[in-house]
Amino acid sequence: MEFFVISLLNGLSYGLLLFMLSSGLTLIFSMMGVLNFAHTSFYMLGAYFAYTISVAIGFWPALLIAPLLVFVLGAAFERYSLRRVHKFGHVPELLVTFGLSYLILELVQLVWGRATVPYVLPQQLQGPLFTLFGTQFPKSRSFIMMLALLMLLAVWLLLTRTRIGLVIQAALTHPETVEALGHNVPRVFMLVFGGGAALAALAGVIGGNTYVTEPAMAGAVGSIVFVVVVVGGMGSLAGAFLASILIGVIQTFAVAIDQSTASLLNALGLNVTPQTFGWELLSLRVADIAPILPYLFLVLILIFRPKGLLGKREG
């Protein structure tokens, strides 16, 4: 029971962090049709900016300033690079963000070095929030959960209850009409791209000190976020939410389970030893296959439900 609740909470906080990342990606994708390959690079930039700012003036200002900086960078990239490539089609758009991810990685290594930086939690977030069955649940993870839910609420309100949100939604399906009504659609695109990057950076600010801040952090989470977006259904925000939570929870549980098929068979009374046929496969612990579970999940979804969990159309 104790193991179950704690793993569930850990899984939820990890899943919500994934959602903070995938929501920006999904927003950009559903609006502009651009798969932003550099999305997790913005996440990394957020973490590194927050590290530098928090050393200088503290964590709480960094929580605001780092996403704003990344917003400016993302918007500038859209304005001066992505928009230029737009006329060539979607594949070059993907390629240009792919090139950007290369550049950001190199620049981060250039400025902050190749090793992990000591980006630590602020005083207020250190220590446990509550103790459950003798195991402590850290404050930082509950902070992630709270922030992710707040962000979800804010994005939802922004999209459905404000004027700019209505323009964004309209530009999603009928860009020409919106333009004819006198709205600057390219500028809306620029704001959406910057906004998506800022959401990723916000995730980086709190993900960077809860986990680690290092040059490999973008790559580590990058492919998982893409899995989330495909599994949830391309362009579906609700699907991304569901898939993030699912993958977060599944992966956290799998890492903690120290059993293998062999030990299960042995427990059932069958005698399985290293001499048995297929021992390499049978002796794999669930914890060993945890890293590949998201990808297996992706393959299964594609075979049995190609449009994703909550996707509306087949891509």
Partner 1 sequence: MSTAATAAPRSLRSYAIWLAFAVVLAVLPLLFQSSLARSMLTQMGYLVIICLSYNILLGQGGMLSFGHAVYTGLGSFVAVHAMNLATKGQLPLPLVTIPLVGGLAGLFFAALFGYVTTKKSGTTFAMITLGIGELVAAMSLMFPGFFGGEGGVTTNRMYGKPILGITFGPQLQVYYLVAAYCFVSTALMFALTKTPLGRMLNAVRDNPERVEFIGYNTQRVRYLGFIIAGFFAGIGGALASVNFEIVNASDALSAVRSGGYLLFTFLGGATFFFGPMIGAVLLVLASVLLSEVTKAWLLYLGLVFLFMVMYAPGGIASLVMMNLRVAKFGKFGRLLRPYAGLLLAGLLVVAGASALIEMIYHIQLNAGAGSQFRFVGVPLDSESPTSWLASTAVLLVGMVALEFARRGFVRVWARAQEEIEAEIRQREPA
> Which tokens belong to 243?
């898939």
Q: How many residues bind partner 1 (CB under 8 A)?
A: 47
What type of residue sits at position 302? L
- How far from chain centre, in Å, is Cα 128? 24
Adjacent-strand bridge partners of 137? 130
Least distance between partner 1 and beta carbon 109 (Å): 8
What is the DSSP annotation of 201-220?
HHHHHHHHHHS--STTHHHH
Query: What per-residue string of b and e applies to 110-121 under the rule 16 or more CB within 10 Å gives b?
Result: eebeeeebebeb
Count of residues in the chain: 315
Least distance between partner 1 and beta carbon 42 (Å): 16
Least distance between partner 1 and beta carbon 306 (Å): 6
3-state SS assignment for residue 130: strand
Q: Which of 76, 158, 166, 299 binds partner 1 (CB under 8 A)?
A: 299
Burial of 170 (0-12, 13-18, 19+ CB in 10 A): middle
262-291 binders of partner 1 (CB under 8 A):
280, 284, 288-289, 291
Least distance between partner 1 and beta carbon 193 (Å): 16
Q: Which of 4, 60, 102, 133 binds partner 1 (CB under 8 A)?
A: 102
The residue (of 94 and 120) whose beta carbon lies closer to partner 1 is: 94
Does residue number 227 form part of the binding site for partner 1 (CB under 8 A)? yes
Judge whether 167 and 183 are in contact, CB under 8 Å.
yes
Which residues form the interface with partner 1 (CB under 8 A)? 29, 33, 35, 81, 84-85, 88, 90-92, 94-96, 98-100, 102-103, 105-107, 109-111, 113, 219, 223, 226-227, 229-230, 234, 280, 284, 288-289, 291-292, 294-296, 298-299, 302-303, 306, 315
